[in-house]
Structure 1
Amino acid sequence: MLLLVPGDPLRPRRPDEHFAAEAAAARVRGIDVALVDHDALTRGGPADAAVARVPAGSGPASYRGWMLRTEQYAAMATALAAREVELRTSPEQYQRGHELPGWYAALVGHTPETAWTLDDTRGAFEQACAVLGGGPAVLRDFTKSMKHYWNEAAYVPDVADGGAAWRVASRFRELRDDEFTGGFVLRRFETFTGAEARTWWVNGNCRLVTAHPDTAADAPAADVDVASVAPSIAQLGLPFVTADLVRHADGRWRVVELGDGQVSDRPASTPAEEFIAAIT
């Protein structure tokens, strides 16, 4: 397998510092590494220039890098295909793992009740609120929340209070700006205890359990229940994903988020060598 990582913006012949350790660990394991220009992909220019450093005909590839919008990932995949390099995760698979509407149905029962819109209009948002009926919720879009702005752009105290809920949604939309993806997503608020664990899945099998990057110093609990969600994650049929699990106040393990593993951050507390060995 070929590992693709972003090049350093200032030293394009070297891996981005954030992914340099993973690139080095891959090379030690005999995995070839090639660099892509992440900035070129996100600027919307020709994707062939972004993958110009990838050797033609170098085989199946997996990306480990900064987040890409679905259309940017698809452009990269097309440009790589022209160089006879096929990504392990297709654009369609990337979208299903990266955007909440793609994975939610498979995980119903393991994750908070959710409603979403297909745009950013108030009418659509109010319809999503009506689906949940009432009570607190957490707001995000198809790919990301603004949890660091919890009270002003993430937490909705009561979805039945239309005016207050829309103020949170408006602030969220303002903060996300051009990065807003898909539509508004409302997730019913649940009470959790302890730190989240990030679980890493390859072809439906859990390969690694780590701390969450936001709480990298907190080791994952010894009893993270990956078995309960394994059939649902396998049902998705995705090559490489992460699932963030946390314990509910009632003791159940709940899926807070599922994401494409290629763009999910590795916690600093997990050595790159251990990580690469697990996912390849």
Structure 2
Amino acid sequence: MMLLVPVDPVVPRRVDAHFANEAAAARAAGVAVALVDHDALAGRGDAGRAVERVPGGATAVYRGWMLGSDRYAAFAAALAERGTTLRTPPEAYRRGHELPGWYDTLEGLTPESAWTSGPPTRAAFDTARRAIGDGPAVLRDYSKSLKHYWHEAAYIPDVADADAAWAVGERFAQLRGDEFTGGFVLRRFEPFTGAEVRTWWVGGRCRLVTAHPDTPEQLPPGDLELPPGLAGAVTGLPFVTVDLARRADGAWRVVELGDGQVSDRPASTPPEQLLTAVLDG
């Protein structure tokens, strides 16, 4: 197994500082580490240039910045030309990275959702809005929400209020810009209590439970209960994270599923702990 990490954009011979601790932990454990030029891959779309320092003949796990599904597919193809295979193939990455890929298997464990496909137009937005009906909702696209812009680009008090809802949708599209992915997604708002918990799944098994990166100091509670059926829902996904939150009625709900390669590690989790779970899984 080989670990792939992004290069430092200023000093290309060095690991990006955000992933340096994980790379050091991997090397200390005897795991080979290779550098990927994320700017070439994600920014310029030059996958061949991005992987030119990756040796062949290995199975690899990527730990780096988020990639769109098409860029990831190009990444996998460029590595395959060099004889290296990503443990997570492109189709599994898309399924884990984009909400429409995982929603059906988690329906009932996660808030009701409706989505569109294509550019962020009002007509498309209204399609999703009408499917939800009425009441509060949370807006995102296929791969990302903007919860740090909660009142202006995430939370919709009532989707039945068409103009007010679209003001949120329009602002979301403006902020996402060229990074808008797939289409609008509207998720029925559910009241949660406490911080989110991040669970790490490798080969269909929960290998690690951590705080969420946004709240690293708030460790998972001792009474955490994985929702029934969650293990079956992630079958076939080599490495994913599932973020959970406790609803006001006490039920643990799935807030988000994401590909584990591009999911951030909370500062409160030692890199050695994560690497052991990921590479030995």
Q: TM-score range by the shorter chain?
A: over 0.9
RMSD of aligned Cα (Å):
1.0
Q: Distance in 2 between matches of 1:266 and 1:9?
A: 20
Q: State how far apart, in whole Å, the 2-side matches of 1:227 and 1:154 are.
A: 25
8 Å CA contact 1:205–1:230 kept in 2: the answer is no
Contact 1:65 1:262 in 2 (8 A): yes
Please give the alpha-carbon distance, in whole angstroms, between the structure 1 residues aligned to 2:38 and 2:182: 21
Deviation at 1:229, TM superposition (A): 4.1
- Asked if 2 retains the 8 angstrom alpha-carbon contact of 1:117 and 1:125, the reply is yes
* 8 Å CA contact retained: 2:7, 2:38: yes
Q: 1:97: which partner in 2? A: 96
Aligned to 1:35: 35
Distance 2:131 2:204 in 1: 31
Aligned partner of 2:98: which letter?
Answer: E
Contact 2:141–2:183 (Cα < 8 Å) also in 1: yes
Matched, 1:176 2:176: yes
Partner Cα separation in structure 2 for residue 106 and residue 137 of structure 1:
21
Partner deviation per Cα, 1:238-272 (whole Å, 9 max, x = no partner) = 00000000100000000000000000000000000
For structure 1, list consecutive stretches of 5 or more residues without a partner in the other structure: none
What residue number does 1:60 align with? Answer: 59
Query: What is the distance in 2 between the residues matched to 1:200 and 1:255?
Result: 13
Structure 2 counterpart of 1:242: 241
Distance 1:201 1:231 in 2: 9
Q: For 2:224 and 2:168, how far apart are their aligned partners in 1?
A: 33
Quote the residue 1:272 is aligned against: 271
The residue correspondences of 1:68-147 to structure 2 (distance < 5 A) are 68-119=67-118, 120-147=120-147
Q: For 1:46-105, what per-residue CA distance to the aligned partner results, in whole angstroms no more than 9, with x for missing partners? A: 211100110122x10010000001111111111100000000001111000000000000
Amino acid at match of 2:211: A
TM, length-normalised to structure 1: 0.97
> Letter of the aligned partner of 2:74 in structure 1?
A
Q: Compute the TM-score of the two structures, normalised by the length of structure 2.
A: 0.97
CA distance in 2, matches of 1:265, 1:185: 22
| 2:178 alignment partner, SS class | helix
Gaps in structure 2 of 5+ consecutive residues: none
Percent sequence identity is: 65
CA distance in 1 between counterparts of 2:127 and 2:56 reads 49
Q: Distance in 2 between matches of 1:277 and 1:229?
A: 25
The number of residue pairs the alignment matches comes to 278
Q: Distance in 2 between matches of 1:175 and 1:228?
A: 36
Query: Does 123-132 or 78-87 show the bigger shift?
Result: 123-132
**Could you tell me which amino acid in structure 2 is paired with residue 136 of structure 1?**
P
**Correspondence 1:8 to 2:8:** yes
Letter in 1 for 2:106: L
* DSSP 3-state at the match of 1:214: coil
Q: How far apart are residue 232 of structure 1 and its match?
A: 3.5
Looking at structure 1, the residues matched to 184 and 13 of structure 2 have their Cα atoms a distance apart, in angstroms, of: 39
| Partner AA of 2:152 in structure 1 | E
Asked whether the equivalents of residues 201 and 208 of structure 2 are also in contact (C-alpha less than 8 Å), the reply is yes
Structure 1 contact 245–256 (Cα < 8 Å) conserved: yes
Please show how residues 158-173 of structure 1 align to structure 2 within 5 Å. 158-173=158-173
**How far apart are 1:226 and its partner, in Å?**
2.1
| Aligned counterparts of 2:228 and 2:15: Cα–Cα separation in 1 | 37
Q: Structure 1 residue 10: deviation in Å?
A: 1.3
Q: CA deviation at 1:227?
A: 5.5
The CA deviation string for residues 85-132 of structure 1, in whole angstroms up to 9 with x for no partner, is: 000001111000000000000000110000001022212211211111
How far apart are residue 45 of structure 1 and its match? 3.7
